[in-house]
Structure 1
Amino acid sequence: MAGEFGTVLRRLREKAGLTQDELERRSGVSVSTIRGLETGKRRNPRMTTVQQLADALALRSEDREELLGAAVPGRRGDGTGSEAEASAAEAGAPVGGAPGGGEARAGEPEAGDGSAAGAGVAPPAVPSSPPVSAAQTAPAEAAEQLAKAVAARWQREEEQRRIQDPYPLPVRWKAACETLTDHWANIRRLPPGAPGGPLDLSGRLEGIAETYRSIPSGRLVVLGRSGSGKTVLTLRFVLDHLRSRTPAEPVPVIFSIGAWDPTAVTLRDWLTERLTRDHPGTAAPGPGKVSLASALVDSGRVLPVLDGFDEMADGLRRPALEALNATTLPLVLTSRPAEYAAAVEETDVLTSAAPIELTDLTLDDLDHYLPRTTRKTDRSDPAAGAWQAVLKKLREPSPDGAPAPLVTVLTTPLMVALARTVYSDTPEHDPAELLDAERFPGVRELEEHLLDSFLPTVYRGARPGARGWDPERVQRWLGHLARHLTELRTPDLAWWRLGHGLRRSTRTLVTALVTALVIGFVDTVMSVGFSGSLANGLLDGAIVGLLAGFLFGLVHWFTYTVTGKDVRPSAVRLRIRGRPETTTWRAGPRLVIGTLGGTLFGCAYGFAVGLVRAFSWHAGLSSALSLGLIDAIVFGLIFGGAAGLTFCLLGLLETPLDIVSAVSPGSVLRTDRRTVLTQLCVWAPVFGSAVGLGAGVVVDLLQGRLGRLVADPMVSLMLGTISGLGGALGYTLTMTAWGQWCLLARVWLPLTGRLPWSVAAFLDDAYQRGVLRQAGAVYQFRHARLQSRLAQRRVRQARVGQGRSAQGRRRG
């Protein structure tokens, strides 16, 4: 018969919707141990085992306390117990029984079964239990490091957005309507039949963390219209929650849910991928042969703050809500009310979630805030400012009794922030013009004016120590970026995906063309250097360049178009000096991938070279095919072995990045560039030497089997040198994020006028001016309204340009 601990464990496992096998994968505790604990065959679990199970079940504090109380006999409901029990727990000894272990040894009585040992006779001294393994402590330590990194990141972002200057706008909320609210008994986690009414959810910005902690289910939905302050609220929630967080609580992490496709990837996998992107250190291996990011998500150590449910595509909101309801994860979700209500109408409310709705700013809020954002203009009345007369005019009753359009516009923090930027920060602009009813007859005209005036205002001059930008070109460049994000249906502006705005065929063609030119030039230089003949060098360079461009372009097309995979920045760095922290977790797979890829590439290259050589000798078709097949086998073995060795060595030298390292778009770009350049320094000599030496080895092995083969040392040296340099450059341009960035974002897009030549400096400058914001490794536009407005204007400009071109052609 199962004991109390087994009964509680089974109930909590079933409540989480997990099988024993799934709990084994998440916790690292064997399924036989879990089965034994639940049936009562195994008693006295170690405290480390209890903690692993609690983490894997993502238990809230009260459930965790219940499980711990069942494991420790005599533990009181307030979470306290005897000092001996606490000491045993800290030491990792089995709780509630004999100190020898969670299972009695064969032939030894278990404590508490009526034996002398169970009656209080002191047991023989046994060695202390072994310390907790690194695999067990890694997720806990990683969670603490993650908390520090998240807090530092969003503290910097809050300062950059000037939220505290002069003070945060008073964002307030009330409970949302009942049609968007689940049963209060579910929200309160009440047992069947227990009475329970609504929670008091009203509050202000500074109390968001307390409001969340008052919700037993740990699920909160924040609703608010566009620009009402949802993103600022999530930022404040993360910082306040982290300030008062205990080690047992999960780490709040903001995720832009608008980039999630629930029909293609599960929620947990998507959270893991985003966590790895924004915190590359979590890509390191964790317990159970999974990454630390996966371990953090699966063990409930991450509290997802899902910002921007309304930014998802229309057809994805319903499956997204259904996927969220299929989990028991505590979370925070933000959305505009209409989009959330439409998704609820199609499926159901977010299970066990308490929804709140942000309320409008008032004229009193504006009276207190706006005058403090501008410099004083009247020395006789220090309180007077540019906004005083405007605010006074807004309080005057209109002839028809309706509020002035400006009153409605300034009820959202977004529009207040834009008005502050356009008028408070620029003395030459007078906010009184906003009262002009002929120029701004309605709300839409006022909002469009503020949105359109934002960029000219923030780009009115060069920042200290930074270059200036032409405002008209800035409009075009930012419009291209906004349209690029709209077409990709994501708010995340990732530097490694800037080329994805191009058609796949264009991207592949540019990659193949540039790769052909680069490798052809290298081959020509090296061939001329070895042979001394310019004509032969040009001919050989043209052939090798075209073949390499075609093959590398084919590899690029297949990898990123056919398979649907995306080129991403490296989550590791190469350590040349000293022993890498992790030496085997990537080497094996890299050996296999490198060998297969090199063999296929070598076969294709050898077959093409054989055909070209045979036809240059005026050989017949049969002879040409035979020679092509022989060269395909030879080069396949040469390049397969060399690539496998090189990729394996790179895997041995890789070590994961530090979790607490500051991650920003610029730092990720610099880290990836440094990693790729280090890979080049390893790839070129290793791959070149392996090809040069491997040529002689392969020829000796196949001598006589494929006819008479010749391995000229000078030819092998030339082949190795060209292969090392050309292979390294081809790999960089086609298979790395930094290479694609250089090829498309630094060359092709500026060449076609879509972006400036100094792309990284331009993006950083836009961030410093408040046009963009940072969200981990990516940029985002300051607000979705700004992105939408810029994209619309860019589309109109493109249509006007096309119309003018068509008109010019007709005249011609």
Structure 2
Amino acid sequence: MASQFGLLLRQWRQRAGLSQEALAHRAAVGTRTVRGLETGERTDPRMGTVRALADALELTGAERVELFSAAGRDEPPVLEPARFDPLLETVETLKVAIEARWRREEEQRQVHDPVPLPVRWEAAPAALTDSRTNIGGEAALDGRLDQVVEVYRRVGSRRLVVLGRAGSGKTVLTTRFVLDLLGAHNPADPVPVIFGLGAWHPGRAGLRDWLAEQLTHDHPFLAAPGPGGGTLAAALVDSQRVLPVLDGFDEIAAGLHRAALNALNTTTLPLLLTSRVDEYRDAVEGTDVLTSAAAVVLADLTCDDLADYLPRTTRKTGPAGNVWKPVLDEVRCGGPLAQVLTTPLMVALARRIYSDTPDHDPAALLGLHEPDEIERHLLSSFIPAVYGSDTDRVRPWLGHLADHVTRLGMHDVAWWRFGTSSTVTGLAVGVVVGFADLVLEAVLIGGLITRGVLFAVMIGLVTGLLFGLAHRFAVRRTPLEPVRTRLRLRGRADRRVWSRGLLGVAFGGAVGAAYGLVRALAYWLATPGVVMTAGVLVDVVVFGLVFGLGAGLVFAVVAALEAPLDVRSAGSPDGLREANRRAVLGLVGMMVPVFAVFVIGATGIVASGLTALRFEVLWSPTTAFALGLVGGIGGGLAYVLSLTAWGQWVVFARVWLPLTGKLPWRLPAFLDDAYRRGVLRRAGAVYQFRHARLQEHLARSR
């Protein structure tokens, strides 16, 4: 049996990603020596061997002391001199943010009101766990909620799978794991961060890259440049300063579980993974277990657990004493209630409906005779218990949200994903650009004229059509996501800069050509007797060329200016949306003058060339500036509404969906209120429904 020294040696070797042969080579000792120490065949290593292994593994001072102590040596190891850690400040900032977030969430979910529901587990069947030799550590894995960190540390590989059925307490366990690990105040511990695996597509992004991307979503300051290139988020992941708590393996899209498990097995990252039992078992049967991972299964609540918890949640009484006594008597007799009230989810719903709501008697549960009927009753009664008389008003809105995220195949209620319809986007662009052009023409000309009205209507139609197509093309390639930017040019143009520049040339040229044609057509319709001439073709070519080059320049500059913005307040939905709004409006404020100046210069050059070719040209800097201003403002508005996440939020969440009655006009306040009532929860910069079961119920009953 391996000694404590052997277990530590195996654990730190696996953390370093080294084989026994590689460690032996680096430490200049024999491979048989390393193997013997890990298996316990050798129990008395020499001082020089211990020091060589500690040096090869690059152990910290505390880790070296622990290794020498396990070897039974009194002589202290030679400690390495303190080295500057470029990520130390980042790690500490992230720890504070993570702890504050999940402590608030735990309070919001009333986990400690009055006491946490008991969450216990036992070792999973052998078929779902790796061999003890690969895992290392102690054999005993049974435990309860307040022992989760202790049990995790018993696993030598630091890779643990937590299995349980829907509502069994996996989310409560991950939250408590994060807070307890942060509360240990051990500088050597990585920062535990919860990642919702439902958003991961293993075929599109490797695990490390996806983790770094998710970190920058929830903590934008981690998108800043890190040591050695890349971002701070990538540096934290690569140096194992972040401990991934991967919540919801079962929520990965259908058909991808085996691919996800294979992808997890390509890494040696310490982690904690949660999943429903069936989905994980199916993936294991189709591939293999999670390498070096132990597994536990969450246990059902018992009658004694309910008897200790439910009466403490209310002081309401009935003929027999506490109002929960008849229900508890029924549970002790077995039957459907005893089958349903075995998960923290169902108990929490029952508590919210009957303990926290006046005039609701839990005796109503006694009239239900099937487990499915009881579960549907609890799920359907939750919203009325929370909203009371407002239930009929808010239920359709919650149903639309649940159905929307379900159709997207996800659980995140993200403010930038409320809609992607190119038709609605084009309509919004057309209306806004047409109205803006009408106002600008009225200001510049000094009043409204028939030609101006006709031009505004036609340019609105054309711009709406073209930018609707641009939106469709853009979201097909890369879904629109929040932009965190500051005005700082990148070192060199990347693929996105060229792609956006070419998109600007194509659609800007189309808008310019349409502008020239519509301008002539509006003049012809508003002025009887005017004959269309070949000069219209010249206008189409000139405006198409100028607008195309100008839009290409502006789009490319906007893409090049995108750089990480150090916004620590953006870890909430409102904070991220506000940061994105400022960034987008700042970029548009840059686009308009750049486009206007380009149009003045470009049209001046073209006018000079046409004059030299003996064409009759009417041009002045004032006319060119007006043209550039109108085109810049109209193009800027079209860009915001069709090609930015914040613009899509405005179009769908603030106008279209409230206008069609699917969501309220004051959507941010509604989402925040649902969060405070416990219907939604926050997961960084997005909301999620309290539980996937509630989301499924609301989506079906819409």
In the TM superposition, what are the counterparts of 1:401-480 in structure 2 within 5 Å? 403-436=334-367, 440-460=368-388, 470-480=390-400
Q: 2:276 aligns with which of 336, 358, 367?
A: 336
Task: In structure 1, give the amino acid aligned to 2:455.
Answer: D
String of CA shifts for 1:568-587, please: whole Å, max 9, x gaps. 1222456xxxxxxxx44478
1:542 to 431, 453, 457: 457
75 and 339 in structure 1: CA distance in 2 versus 1, 3 angstrom threshold: closer
Return the offset for 1:702. 7.7
Change in CA separation of 1:637 and 1:181 when aligned onto 2, cut-off 3 Å: closer
Instruction: Give the conservation status (yes or no) of the 8 Å contact 1:569–1:672.
Output: yes
**3-state DSSP class of the match of 1:725?**
helix
Does the CA-based 8 Å contact 1:516-1:545 persist in structure 2?
Answer: yes
Deviations 1:589-614 (A, max 9, x none): 58756654443333222333344567
- Report the aligned-residue RMSD: 3.5
The 3 A distance-change label for structure 1 pair 12 and 695 is: farther
- Does the CA contact (< 8 Å) of 2:223 and 2:564 recur in 1? no
* Contact preservation (8 Å) 1:69, 1:77: no
Alpha-carbon shift at residue 178 of structure 1 (Å):
0.9
Offset at 1:791? 1.2
Cross-structure match for 2:58: 68
- Asked whether 1:78 is paired with 2:68, we answer yes
Equivalent residue letter for 1:747: V
Q: Structure 1: where are the runs of 5+ without partners?
A: 1-7, 21-35, 41-61, 93-131, 190-197, 398-402, 462-469, 501-506, 575-582, 795-812
* CA displacement at 1:674 relative to structure 2: 3.1
Pick the aligned partner of 2:513 from 580, 604, 607: 607
Distance in 2 (alpha carbons) for counterparts of 1:611 and 1:724: 18
Is this contact kept in 2: 1:147–1:242, CA < 8 A?
A: yes
User: Residue 558 of structure 1 corresponds to which residue in structure 2?
Assistant: 473
Taking the TM superposition and a 5 Å limit, the aligned residue runs for 1:786-797 are 786-794=694-702
Would the aligned equivalents of 1:75 and 1:82 in 2 still touch at CA under 8 Å?
A: no
Letter in 2 for 1:427: P
Offset of residue 444 of structure 1 = 1.1
Deviations 1:350-379 (A, max 9, x none): 11110001111111111111111002548x
| Matching of residues 502-541 of structure 1 within 5 Å | 507-532=421-446, 534-541=449-456
Tell me the residue number matched to 1:301: 241
1:727 is aligned to 2:640: no
* Structure 2 length-normalised TM: 0.85
Q: Retained in 2: the 8 A contact 1:304–1:331?
A: yes
Distance apart, 1:13 and its partner CA: 10
Residues in 2 aligned to 1:546 and 1:63: alpha-carbon distance in whole angstroms: 72
Distance 2:679 2:614 in 1: 65
**What is the CA-CA distance between 1:458 and the residue it aligns to?**
0.4
Q: By how many angstroms is 1:315 displaced?
A: 0.7
Q: Give yes or no for contact 1:642–1:691 (8 Å, CA) kept in 2.
A: no
User: 1:797-808, aligned counterparts within 5 Å?
Assistant: none
Deviation at residue 642 of structure 1 after TM alignment: 5.1
SS at match of 1:460: helix
Rounded Cα–Cα distance in structure 1 between residues aligned with 2:53 and 2:300: 38
Whole-angstrom distance in 2 between the partners of 1:549 and 1:221: 51
* Aligned position for 1:287: 227
**1:555-594 paired onto structure 2 within 5 Å:** 555-561=470-476, 563=477, 565-572=478-485, 583-585=488-490
Q: Is the 8 A contact 1:664 1:778 kept in 2?
A: yes
The answer to which of 285-294 and 237-246 deviates more is 285-294
Work out whether residues 546 and 599 of structure 2, in 8 Å CA contact, stay in contact via their aligned partners in 1.
Answer: no
Tell me the residue number matched to 2:159.
219
What displacement does 1:644 show?
5.0
Do 1:149 and 1:662's aligned partners in 2 also have CA atoms closer than 8 Å?
no
Per the alignment, residue 647 of structure 2 pairs with: 739
Q: Is the 8 A contact 1:321 1:350 kept in 2?
A: yes
- Paired with 2:54 and 2:645, the residues of 1 have a C-alpha distance of 43
Tell me the alpha carbon deviations over residues 443-478 of structure 1, each in whole angstroms, 9 at most, x when there is no partner: 1111111111100000015xxxxxxxx312322111
Task: Name the SS for the 2:412 alignment partner.
Answer: coil
Name the CA shift for 1:37/1:210 in 2 (closer, same or farther; >3 Å): closer
Shift of 1:14: 9.3
Distance verdict in 2 for CA 1:281–1:707, change over 3 Å:
farther
CA contact (8 A) 2:27 2:53 kept: no
Alignment partners' CA distance in 2, 1:554 and 1:609? 17
Cα drift, residue 553 of structure 1: 1.7
Q: Does 1:636 align with 2:551?
A: no
Indicate whether 1:199 and 2:139 are aligned.
yes
Would the aligned equivalents of 1:527 and 1:536 in 2 still touch at CA under 8 Å?
no
Letter in 2 for 1:601: F
Q: 1:374 & 1:758 partners in 2: Cα distance?
A: 34
Q: Is residue 169 from structure 1 mapped to residue 117 from structure 2 by the alignment?
A: yes
- Aligned partners of 1:705, 1:14: CA distance in 2, in Å? 73
Distance verdict in 2 for CA 1:674–1:384, change over 3 Å: farther
Indicate which of 393, 396, 415 corresponds to 1:495: 415
Paired residues of 2:459 and 2:518 also in contact (CA < 8 A):
no
* Aligned CA distance change for structure 1 residues 750 and 205 (closer, same or farther; 3 Å): same
Relative to 1, partners in 2 of residues 1:702 and 1:150: Cα closer, same or farther, differing over 3 Å? Answer: farther
Name the SS for the 2:194 alignment partner. Answer: strand
Moved more, 631-640 or 202-211: 631-640
Q: Does the 8 Å CA contact 2:14/2:268 hold for their aligned counterparts?
A: no
The answer to whether residue 327 in structure 2 is matched with residue 390 in structure 1 is yes
Q: TM-score, normalised by structure 1?
A: 0.74
Alignment CA distance shift 1:69-1:516 (3 Å): closer
How far the C-alpha of 1:708 sits from its partner, in A, is 6.5
C-alpha distance in 2 between matches for 1:63 and 1:624: 81
- Deviation at 1:697? 5.0
Deviation at 1:251, TM superposition (A): 1.2
In the TM superposition, what is the alpha-carbon distance from 1:675 to its structure 2 partner? 2.9
Percent identity at matched positions? 50
Deviations 1:385-417 (A, max 9, x none): 21134323443x4xxxxx121122111111110
SS in 2 for 1:288: coil
Partner of 2:311: 371
